[in-house]
Amino acid sequence: MIKIIILSAILLTSLFFTKTVRAGLIKNVADTSIYDFKVDGLEGGTIDLSSFKGKKIMIVNTASFCGNTHQYADLETLYEKYKDKLVIIGFPANNFGAQEPGTNVEIKEFCTKNYGVSFPMAAKVSVKGDDIHPLFKYLVSEAGKIGFTDPIKWNFTKFLLDENGKLITVIHNKKSVLDADVIKLL
């Protein structure tokens, strides 16, 4: 009887840890895709990444008080030019130098007022450390498969995924998305 209880506990624990991606059981982690993720939006609601199937997706960790914050303007320019085939999603994070201390409301106001951001923005998350958001844990894992170890070194690291949800590349936090090398990937 004790063996059955122990085996049941091990099985349940194993199932829990291998199938949990967000709040709920969806798939085995090895079978997870970008399209399995739903994230809270900056203004409320949910951003369902599966709604972007067929488009390239650029996921960017952002911050309002960073030396790279001016990149919001480049991201907005890129989004406006290519929004028929590319979606950009900003993820405010306070992981580096406490450069995103604001609330979701303050972040939205800052992005709209200063940069006219119209691309989707997620609610503030953690992109590194023990409290890393599951989406960024997934992206870091996928980046490792294509040779990027510890890809998130600072604010404005960009993950570019193809129309099928496969990670193409990680774009360094200092590199502009308007650079010719980035544009040719679109």
What per-residue confidence (pLDDT) applies to 11?
Answer: 42
Residue 126 tokens read as 């953690």
What's the predicted TM-score (pTM) here? 0.84
Strands 38-40 and 46-48, bridge-based pairing: antiparallel
Distance CA 12, CA 24 (A): 14
Confidence at residue 2, expressed as pLDDT on a 0 to 100 scale: 58
Q: At a CB cut-off of 8 Å and minimum separation 6, what does 81 contact?
A: none
Instruction: Report the phi/psi class of residue 152: left, alpha or beta, with left for phi > 0 and alpha for psi in -120 to 50.
Output: beta
The residues annotated as belonging to the active site are: 66
pLDDT attached to residue 32: 86
Indicate whether 111 pLDDT > 80: yes
**CATH of segment(s) 33-183:** 3.40.30.10
Q: Which residues contact 113 (CB under 8 A, 6 or more apart)?
A: none
Q: How confident is the model at residue 16 (pLDDT cuts 50, 70, 90)?
A: very low
Residue-level pLDDT at 29: 52
Whether the pLDDT of residue 184 is over 90: the answer is yes
**pLDDT tens across 18-72, in order?**
333 444 444 455 578 999 999 999 999 999 999 999 999 999 999 999 999 999 9
Token digits for 136? 């960024």
Domain ranges of the chain: 1-32, 33-183
> In the prediction, which pLDDT does 30 show?
59
Average pLDDT, the chain: 88
